[in-house]
């Protein structure tokens, strides 16, 4: 009788662990959820309706270890890139959302077609000053550059 009870109890513990692991995997129990609520939103415009080749704003300052949500939009008549490989390497990307698609994992460059918007959620990790540029030929040279600082 005792052995039956012990077996039943350890089985229950195992089942509970499996259940919690599955919940975690499905995202029901996720520490990211709490952090997501406290993400600081920062807007950036790639170009403008007048067709100026600039980022608005073109200087960003982030605090290492905090969660940010960068809201990107392209109100201009042409395609632009938000490219800062060193900054991306110095940060931990949680996810990128664009349209109905959510991308998880490393991101190094975002392409926004005219009228497009995207959200990049990340945690800057390594302090430094990083260069931002649009990699469409001629755009960086025309002034489509910026600076991202992680403090």
Q: Is 116 in the site for Cu ion (CB under 5 A)?
A: no
Q: CA-CA distance, 103 to 109, in Å (whole number)?
A: 13
Closest distance of CB 80 from Cu ion, Å:
3
**Which window, 15-23, 24-32, 57-65, 73-81, contacts Cu ion (CB under 5 A)?**
73-81
φ, ψ (nearest 5 deg) of residue 9: -70, -45
CA angle 65, 37, 128 (to 5 degrees): 20
Q: Is 54 in the site for Cu ion (CB under 5 A)?
A: no
Neighbours of 72 (CB within 10 A): 21
Q: Is 80 in the site for Cu ion (CB under 5 A)?
A: yes
Total residues contacting Cu ion (rule CB under 5 A)?
5
Among 110, 134, 148, 150, binds Cu ion (CB under 5 A): 134
Among 91, 118, 139, 148, binds Cu ion (CB under 5 A): 139
**Which window, 6-14, 16-24, 57-65, 126-134, contacts Cu ion (CB under 5 A)?**
126-134
φ, ψ (nearest 5 deg) of residue 131: -90, 135
Please give the residue whose beta carbon sits closest to Cu ion in the complex.
Answer: 134
Q: CA-CA distance, 150 to 147, in Å (whole number)?
A: 10
φ, ψ (nearest 5 deg) of residue 17: -65, -45
Applying CB under 5 A, which residues contact Cu ion? 80, 134, 136, 139, 144
């Amino acid at each position: 009788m005792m052995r039956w009870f012990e077996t039943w109890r350890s089985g229950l513990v195992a089942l509970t662990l499996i259940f919690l692991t599955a919940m975690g995997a499905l995202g029901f129990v996720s520490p990211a959820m709490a952090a997501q609520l406290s993400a600081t939103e920062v807007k950036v415009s790639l170009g403008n309706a007048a067709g100026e080749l600039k980022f608005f704003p073109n200087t960003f300052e982030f605090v290492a270890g905090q969660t940010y949500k960068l809201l990107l939009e392209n109100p201009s008549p042409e395609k632009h890139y938000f490219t800062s490989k060193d900054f991306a390497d110095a940060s931990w990307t949680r996810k990128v959302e664009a349209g109905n698609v959510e991308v998880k994992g490393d991101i190094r460059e975002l392409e926004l077609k005219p009228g497009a918007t995207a959200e990049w959620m990340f945690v800057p990790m390594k302090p430094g000053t990083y260069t931002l540029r649009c990699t469409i030929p001629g755009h960086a040279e025309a002034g489509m550059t910026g600076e991202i600082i992680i403090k």
